[in-house]
Amino acid sequence: MTQHLADARPTSTGTQPGWWRDAVIYQVYPRSFADSNGDGMGDLEGIRSRLPYLKELGVDAVWLSPFYASPQADAGYDVADYRAIDPMFGTLHDADAVIREAHELGLRIIVDLVPNHCSDQHEWFKQALREGPGTALRERFHFRPGRGANGELPPNDWESIFGGPAWTRVADGEWYLHLFAPEQPDFNWEHPAVQDEFRSILRFWLDLGADGFRIDVAHGLVKAPGLPDLGRDEQLKLLGNQVLPFFDQDGVHEIYRSWRLVLDEYAGDRIGVAEAWTPSADRTALYLRPDELHQAFNFHYLNTGWDAEALRSTIDESLDSMRPVGAPTTWVLSNHDVVRHRTRFGSLERARAAALLMLALPGSAYVYQGEELGLPEVVDLPDEVRQDPSFFKANGQDGLRDGCRVPIPWSGDQAPYGFGTGGSWLPQPAEWAGLSVEAQTGDPASTLELYRAALQVRRAHPALGAGDAVEWLPAPEGVLAFRRGDFVCTANTTAQPVRLPAPGTVLLASTDLTEPDVLPADTTVWWQG
């Protein structure tokens, strides 16, 4: 048991308390962060040893992707035991040590929770298979008889996110639903035992000191009554906004209202963060009403390209949708499911400019491990090392999520670059030697030092952090300019320098400025206005 972290600093909103309203939250993908025992796989002790780095970087909280006991059919998102640690990552004692030491450093810890589905090795599911059709344990999942003369056809036409039918038939003839891999059976959230179990799991981790939960597939728990056919031949998207009978059903909100009651039992502002892919920002806002969750990932922003008009529209829509429910807007450029934004945007210069733009916006920001190093996507991984389940499904997703999960470089001039003594589970490119933490530390031109400086300014400047609005300023085509109090941000998304009167004194710039009234191509500048 750990003593819970007190608020490290007052919120900048004044009237609306809550550390999450302006927090910068760093996502750690445990298997790719730091390896303490030389087995080529990152672990909890590795994370604990690198917490001082995260403190120095200037983030407020750390979100840990799953480390639970799991057969690893989907990189730990197939959970066999929500209260146990997978041996590849360590022990429950190691998890406690991470939380305790993070709190001592003034960092908060958010753990990943996977409530839509579990592993087919979860004891409930194994018992359901043993007990057979019509038994109570089967009601905790979605077991159905098949269609066709002999039940040989799936119960409906739903497809898995990873490709192929969303149903698998078992030996006794029934089928079970899995929106993801066959090894990930979906829970039936209409069953009281499922609801009770997850409230208990919440309390288990809250008792251990966790500051909150990132809720995987938060939009998927409730399915439309009767599990109706989709009725169209359409490949599903892992990161999409389609209107579907198994995503973003209104019934999810009753679940999160019950979770909020649990979170509010604990001191210290414990939070819930929804991974909710919805058709619109307004639908996302419904998850964040005052009696539900605290934050949701802003995937609409993540999916917006490096284009001033599109960015301004998304920023306005995001802020407008959160304002009625009083929730902070979140901003994110990369995560463990998408191509790194340096590669998506086409250059390091654009990635640096995008980072400064994101960190200037009102609300909370997420940083994915390695983006502060300017890491590109690894696009040339050999097929034999890939582990993304969707890579092996011919009609599934692109299967390229491994490229953003390559272990990050810490030091040295050859792989594994200080990640550990035993190599790395995915190969690291030779050109990463110049991108390591060691290589970039102290270099004022490095991306790492840009992030450190930006987070320091963001923490210190009273106009930055929490808020729900920006004041747009006149700007040439392709340029964004906005004011927040006495702070001004200008971002040139074009490939050409643009003449723009300096609105004040330069606080920070993503590239060198040779003339104060010229904004270089693909550059963001922070000004004291």
Which residue in the list 123, 207, 265, 309 is annotated as catalytic? 265
In the residue annotation, 216 being an active-site residue is answered as yes
User: 376 in helix, strand or coil?
Assistant: coil
Neighbours of 437 (CB within 10 A): 20
Alpha-carbon distance values, 363 to 30, 304, 391, 504 (Å): 26, 18, 35, 23
Which residues, other chains included, contact 396 with Cβ-Cβ below 8 Å and sequence gap of 6+?
A: 160, 161, 162, 163, 164, 389, 390
How far is Cα 26 from Cα 372, in angstroms, rounded to an integer? 10
Phi and psi at residue 336, in whole multiples of 5°? Answer: -80, 0
Which residue in the list 159, 216, 269, 292 is annotated as catalytic? 216
User: 53 in helix, strand or coil?
Assistant: helix
Alpha-carbon distance values, 239 to 133, 279, 335 (Å): 34, 11, 12
How far is Cα 529 from Cα 460, in angstroms, rounded to an integer? 15
- Strands, sheet with 167-169, edge to edge from the N-terminal-most edge strand: 143-144, 175-177, 167-169
In the residue annotation, 402 being an active-site residue is answered as no
Tokens, residue 451 = 């992030």
Q: Where are the alpha helices (DSSP H) in 132-212?
A: 192-208
Residues involved in catalysis: 216, 265
